[in-house]
Amino acid sequence: MRSKPLVVDLDGTLIRSDVLIESGFAFIKSAPHRFYEPLLWLVRKGKAGLKAHLADRTNVDVTVLPYDDTVLDWLKQERESGRSLVLATASHERYAEAISQHLGIFDRTFATDGETNLSSHRKRDRLVAEYGEKGFDYAGNSHDDIAVWQSAERAYVVNPSPGVERAARKQGNVERVIESRPPTLKTWARSLRLHQWLKNLLIFVPLLAAHEVSRAPLLFAAILAFFSFGLCASSVYLLNDLLDLEDDRHHPVKRKRPLASGALPIPWGLALFPVLLGAAIAIAWSSLPPRFAAVLFGYYLLTLAYSLFLKKQVMVDVVVLAMLYTTRIIAGTAAIGGHLTFWLLAFSMFIFLSLALVKRYAELYSLQSRGLVKTRGRGYMSSDLSLISSLGTSSGYLAVLVLALYIQDARTAGLYRHPQIIWLACPLLLYWVSRTWIIAHRGRMHDDPIVFAARDRISLVIVALCGLVFWAAI
């Protein structure tokens, strides 16, 4: 048996997260109208007081926190060999004790209380008072842990922050460096949801509908709008993932998202989402019409409202999703200085309402297959499947009806020499809508129908055929 205890840090070491940030976002999500209160607690009572207030007002589920399996397996091996394990963390004692009880491997726990924020020198002094100078080994990951390593016999460096490993090695007691983080580039791509930028191709729809693709200035404006919207959307995705950390961890697929799984450190996501939003605003403000900037701002507000409130409301959520898709078309119109048409807006709302309902149907189907009744964080129940299917198919067919009526509009003849050819697109879309819903009904739908369509060969063929139909009608 090793006589010296192994003391382990929590945030960034044992878990791929930070309990303070987790509890902060849990508080904002539960009471967004009181978003300013944590700042007041920090100013008035310092970090210890802030953590105490958040611990009293939030309930983070410690059973689904992103524990580092590599570190956890190592600790279990050390315990089996007879090593005494100690959890020492700057997180509040309420959560530290809950984590200790959940894991069942720690003999003692030291944590922040309402008066003392147990980090850096304060953590070192507490451990030295308990075990003596060089009377313990310590595993940590951040600059705050350097002071603790100075008084430890052996230093274990886990997924270190930039510059931490070099500073730790200068002390000459580094026993082991544990690196368990996944590849960075792949993680960033998943975090920013770059594949979701496919949705922003809707920005080019008004340009195509107006037959103005050959005009270079308008095409360049649409390209700038595409990137501006993409950056804004990625910012929103990051913020949404931060607000939905716990709900995502209870989801069989979403728990693998970089922020929920801990593959991307939460502080990085917290720092990045305003940077992306700033870049999107900079492009819109400097290079595109004011109308586009206004639409972009409206899109961000609507998305924020969706993340905080609206997605919890039955049917409101899918209508808002359809609006968010349609907003991209409105943004594309604003970017080129065009005019919105009734037909384009109506078609967009109905077709994307159908796809939003497909998304909910797929989630509820998965819920039902797992023997669950109610969705977490939403108001749907598995018994709603048949109603959602009925509403979704009806909405898809209404979109095709709108297209048929568009063909008969007198102004359509001004854009197309042979508008009657567009009728060929109607059976193609009827087939696609019907097939999409049959796939969803059989439980084979991706949780995002847009991503499904982008990967589905038949869907791509139908899109190409519809494009050919409209080209032939010109």
Per-residue pLDDT of 426-474, as tens digits, reads 999 999 999 999 999 998 887 788 888 888 999 999 999 999 999 998 8
For residues 24 and 42, what is the distance between their CA atoms, to the nearest angstrom? 12
Return the percentage of the chain with pLDDT > 70, whole number.
98
Indicate the DSSP class of residue 84. -
Residues 280, 255, single domain; the answer is yes
What phi, psi does 85 have (nearest 5°)? -110, 140
Confidence check: pLDDT of 87 > 80: yes
Residues 316, 252, single domain; the answer is yes
Candidate from 42-46, 87-91, 181-185, 320-324 with smallest mean pLDDT = 181-185
Confidence check: pLDDT of 419 > 80: yes
pLDDT confidence band for 377 (50 / 70 / 90) = low
Residues 207, 102, single domain; the answer is no
Confidence check: pLDDT of 1 > 50: no
Confidence check: pLDDT of 281 > 90: yes
Note whether residue 462 is domain-resident: no
- Containing domain of residue 243, as a range? 184-407
CATH number at residue 133: 3.40.50.1000
Residues 105, 240, single domain; the answer is no
Task: Find the mean pLDDT for residues 13-17.
Answer: 93
Q: Supply the mean pLDDT for the chain.
A: 90
Instruction: Specify whether the CB–CB gap between 54 and 45 falls below 8 A.
Output: no
> For the chain, what is the domain count?
2
pLDDT confidence band for 264 (50 / 70 / 90) = confident
Classify residue 373 by burial, with Cβ atoms within 10 Å: 0-12, 13-18, 19+.
exposed
Return the percentage of the chain with pLDDT > 90, whole number.
65
Q: What is the pLDDT of residue 2?
A: 54
Last residue of a domain, one of 407, 429, 452: 407
Task: Find the mean pLDDT for residues 351-375.
Answer: 86
Note whether residue 204 is domain-resident: yes
Q: What is the pLDDT of residue 193?
A: 86
Long-range pairs, 104-107, Cβ under 8 A, ≥24: 105/75, 105/76, 105/79, 106/8, 107/5
Q: What is the pLDDT of residue 352?
A: 94
Confidence check: pLDDT of 293 > 60: yes
Instruction: Give every CB contact of residue 110 below 8 A, 6+ residues apart in sequence.
Output: 86, 87, 88, 89, 96, 118, 123, 126, 127, 130
Confidence check: pLDDT of 307 > 90: no
Confidence check: pLDDT of 251 > 90: no
- pTM attached to this predicted model: 0.80
SS3 content of the chain, % helix, strand, coil (to 5): 70, 5, 25
Closest CA to 131 of 156, 116, 110: 110
What phi, psi does 170 have (nearest 5°)? -65, -25
Structure tokens at 90: 């700057």
